[in-house]
A and B are shown apart, each in its own frame.
Chain A
Amino acid sequence: MNFKLVLLWTDAMIFLLLAVALAGAWLIRQRPHLLLPWQRLFRSRIGMVSLLVLSLFIVVGLLDSMHYRVALPDKNGNGQTVYAAEVLSVFDTLVGDLRSQNEKTYSAPMAVYLYAKESMETADGKILREYPRLKYGGAHLQDPQNEHTGDVLKRSLYGLFAGWLGGVLLALLVVSVAAARSRTTARQWVEARQHTPLNAVLASVILLAMLFGLTANLAGAYHVLGTDKVGQDVLYLSLKSIRTGLVIGTVTTLVMLPFALFLGIAAGYFRGWVDDVIQYIYTVLSSIPSVLLIAAAVLMMQVTIEKHGEWFSSSVERADLRLLFLCLILGVTSWTGLCRLLRGEALKLRELEYIQAAQSFGVSSMRILSRHILPNVMHIVLIAVVMDFSALVLAEAVLSYVGVGVDPSTNSFGTLINNARLEMGREPMVWWTLAAAFSFMLVLVLAANLFADAVRDAFDPRLNRTGDAK
């Protein structure tokens, strides 16, 4: 199949971040003192399991960030290949029909019938008001009334079993490959890691594989989490929302870090007028209600984007630019907290004797900042970044709910909730969109928070000496 790669702005940012993270990991591996807290983190059970869950989300997000446009079968008049206007991602291809199998409107999770009655004409010409069958959900059933429960059970069990098998095979594969690389038998390799969370990780791999098997097998025949107002599969929408959440959580950090880092430690180290200026800036910035500031900036940007439709070759690009700007705005408004924290820490560090020793050698200020202060605040930065991540994912949901967040065409938890809120008052209630967004976001944020906790513990200098505590 012919296709053209599309690199959206946020994609570039995400891959840049990925590269930075990989380079950082490589750098840390070279330095034993940097590696130490990470090794502590790798010994934490909660940390590793939450990292596993988190990395599943990240994989989905990364797959969803590789965009392309398919070539159309017909060439245009000049013989050039024409590409479809629709921008797809690798993730879209992998989930296959989930994307395209749209029903007419709402249907409950695992349903075979639509959620609303419709008038239908029977074979003998009578008009009936009935719940119509779904186009795709459970379409293979001949007699849904009797077969439905049995079929769901059968598919669930089959999915669970296949998932279990896959999980066990994967675990065995990982263990045997790792054992082969360290030239021991698999048994020895596992036994040598009795005090590591290896068992917990392997158990969660199997559990997640079972969950995956269950969902995948059911999703082939049903809408596992139902469909929304226009009949789109909610599971698909939720999965697509993950990327938006991740982009907001990470790219915003990328934007805010330079401000917070440099301004924070410069204010704390230099004191005097530098400190005054920086303090005034962030005090003013943080006293403006941030929702207002964000709303104003987003609306201005929206007007600009609409005026210049010619800038974009597809609607996806337009939505993407809006997402990027949202990240920028969130970044510009959210650096103050970390900056204040770092200023305080730098104030403390500058009085330490090793800084004064460096000053008495005549070491330049920039070098003191980069060699003495920056490495000694990095643990705070790391903890703050991991903790901010979940806050930003939640902030996006709130902003999109208020209507100043991402483009309505972008899938995000916020837009999902916004669309679902009106239907909460309906009788019978349409609960699944909200429930799906809620549970996905809960799992993502919970995993991020637990991971942040584990990171904080691992980097806490006061806990360093009690390595045998638990």
Chain B
Amino acid sequence: MKSGLLRINGLVTRLHNGARIVDDVSFDIAPGKTFALLGESGCGKSMTALSLMRLLPAGIAIEQGEISLNSKDILALPEREMREVRGGQIAMIFQEPGLSLNPVMTVGEQIAEVLALHQGIKNSAAEARAIGLLQQVGIPDAPQRLHEYPFQLSGGMKQRVMIAMALAGEPKLLIADEPTTALDVTIQAQVLQLLRDTQDKSGMAMLLITHDLGVVAQMAHHVAVMYAGQIIEQAPREKLFAQPLHPYTQKLFAALPDMHLKGQKLAAIPGNVPALGEAAQGCRFAPRCDQAWALCHEQAPEWTVKSDGQGVRCHLYNGRTETRGLRTEGMEQEVQNGATPHSVPSPQHSVLGSNYSVLQVKDLRVYFPIRKGILQRTVGHVKAVDGVALQIGAGRTLALVGESGCGKTTVGKALLQLLKPTAGSVNFSGAEMTGLNPQQLRILRGGMQMVFQDPYASLNPKMRVAEILQEGMDALSIGLNSTERQQRIDVLLDQVGLAQNAKWRYPHEFSGGQRQRIAIARALAVNPKLLICDEPTSALDVSVQAQILNLIKDLQNNLGLSYLFITHNLAVVEYIAHEVCVMYLGRIVERGLVEEVMRNAQHPYTRALLSAVPRIDGDRGEVIQLAGEMPSPAKPPQGCHFHPRCSQAMDICRAAYPEASNVNSTHVVHCHLHSGNK
């Protein structure tokens, strides 16, 4: 085989109780190339990386296999020499930049530590080198930043510093464990670009661990798909994206929400990702695979390499590659055509601006006071939401899109009156919701409910499912007596696709996707007309996300619900929304029908946001790189909030906030570029 920098052969990592969490993993990484490990949570991809570094947590140990770096056996090295390897030859960056830097050391000290250890550079030479590194990772005012502490840096900056630290040891291999998962899309685009540039310059190899197909499409040369501890498919990127072989890989592609799947059901993979180290006979994917036959349940498939070098672990390709191959190609066609088993008619497309609007929000403002001094005097305001207007028609979905910190969750909470709006009006089906006392508000509560982001934090662990569902009914006196309420609970469980016996169980017995179903059932219990969904799928795996999106669509079709869908995931927006509002720094900068905004974005920010999303077709296109990061809502820039990051900013942008300009009757944008067509 080709001269690999890193070779892993038959790696098995076990828990103390014998469960294999990394099971027979083999791959090579060539110098200067990027190898991506793709998989959902709990499939063992991070454990593979930690095995490489020999940094496994207590109770987990490498049982067998070979790992060699530059033909040197890493597993045989004594701990002293292994320390040279870590940071010196293999460096690692982690998911959460906020937790990977020591908060009590300055950035410069942390980089200098690596330099002293691995390069023997100290004192002023180290400082000069550290400045060089910070400039290399694109941090402005490097000499000044050197003396700052991590808390003074933003998330994207911290990840850049992490990369600078990793580069300080001049490693031959960089392991990036979900390097951009915690970052916003625009920042993600910056960091990914930086990683690519660094690789071009230094020629280091990269092991990229991610769950995001889009990131893989942009970054990887070679991809391995992991499922339940095993690599189930391995191929060069172009081949894998052109023709995925394993049913799981095919399903992963099909489960991605997209514009042209609108109105159809997503090809969700039934069931859940198996728990780490769960023992299985036969193929591990067999229980969730719709192409599985008896052999799949009895015998684990062997690793099969096709003539073109694409490897797969599936009985479909065992031996009689050709005939089986034909069959899958047929399957694939089906998937790509979106002719999934259940195709649903698209929701009754009511005319835009349907004369009956469920929710009408005008000039909503939520300011948080900034208090200072002994007397706690208010010295300013964080304008989290600053004059937002929305309108949602019956049975329609409005998506509120924006990066973290733009105030979109605050809008959701202010609508529900969980936060008291500073000003503005929230008119919900004809009744004004602001300025009511708790008793008056309670009457209106049932109409509007919320589904939260984190299904692990949104259910009280000490209450059973039936009690959780009943709470809202009790509080709002829905259902006459307890038998009626119990019957309603049965109906609700059925609606969200849960078994009746779920009633008397506790939340911890359910997986993330099932918990999100319970959370949706809880909201539905009080017969709402409008559901505010706050990133309901962002904590879920791709295959489970598709299940929940399907459920949300079904409920809309069956019950005529309206949704305010708060998200940062533009692919989900394309799939589920009718109308879109794009938020930036507390204000809506562009609104319109989903086709208009997604296909014909007018605001430079929307365009940048759209171009920053990694597409799975690998088409890097013209990514509009946004300089810097979102400013603090406590001190928004003068004039148009976006002008410091906008490449098309004009003088007037620095002076005045742009008024609304109509592109057409439904498409509105706040930008001076379009102020002509008022």
Contacts and interface: CB of A to CB of B under 8 A. Distances in A.
Interface stretch (B70-78, B251-259, B332-340, B454-462): B454-462
B650 interface: no
Contacts of B457: 352-354
A372 B506 CA distance: 14
Nearest to A360: B416
B445 A361 contact: yes
Contacts of A358: 471, 475
A139 to B, nearest CB: 62
Contacts of A364: 475
Contact of A361 (B458, B463, B519, B526): B526
Given A33-B506, A361-B445, A376-B462, A356 B475 contact: no
A362 B438 contact: yes
A375 interface: yes
A155 B347 CA distance: 93
A371 B475 contact: no
A44 B195 CA distance: 50
A362 B476 contact: yes
B458 A353 contact: yes
B222 to A, nearest CB: 35
Interface string A365-409: 001000110011000000000000000000000000000000000
B453 A353 contact: yes
A300 interface: no
Contacts of B413: 356
A430 to B, nearest CB: 51
A7 interface: no
A153 interface: no
Interface in B259-297: none
Given A353-B452, A468-B17, A361 B460 contact: no
Interface in B445-485: 445, 448-450, 452-454, 457-464, 471-472, 475-476
A361 B476 contact: yes
A360 B450 contact: yes
Contacts of A352: 457-458
A363 interface: yes
B452 A361 contact: no
A357 interface: yes
B522 interface: yes
Contacts of B475: 358, 361-364, 367
B502 interface: no
A359 interface: yes
A357 B413 CA distance: 10
B438 A375 contact: no
Contact of B462 (A357, A363, A367, A375): A375
B454 A360 contact: no
A362 B478 CA distance: 13
A360 B526 CA distance: 11
B463 A353 contact: no
B441 interface: yes
B615 to A, nearest CB: 32
B247 to A, nearest CB: 30
B431 interface: no
Contacts of A367: 475
B522 A357 contact: yes
A462 B178 CA distance: 24
Nearest to B468: A354
A379 to B, nearest CB: 10
Interface string A331-370: 0000000000000000000001110111111111001000
A209 B145 CA distance: 70
B418 interface: yes
Given A361-B476, A362-B441, A354 B526 contact: no
Contacts of A372: 460
A363 B463 CA distance: 15
Contacts of A356: 413, 418, 450, 452
23 contacts: A33-B462, A33-B506, A352-B458, A353-B457, A354-B460, A356-B418, A356-B452, A357-B450, A357-B458, A357-B523, A360-B416, A360-B448, A360-B450, A361-B445, A362-B438, A362-B441, A362-B475, A363-B475, A364-B475, A372-B460, A375-B462, A376-B460, A469-B16
Q: Which 3 A-B pairs have the closest CB atoms?
A: A353-B458, A353-B452, A362-B442
Interface of A: 33, 352-354, 356-364, 367, 371-372, 375-376, 468-469
Given A356-B452, A357-B458, 19 more contacts: A353-B452, A353-B453, A354-B459, A354-B460, A356-B418, A356-B450, A357-B450, A360-B448, A361-B445, A361-B472, A362-B438, A362-B441, A362-B475, A363-B475, A371-B463, A371-B471, A372-B460, A375-B460, A375-B463
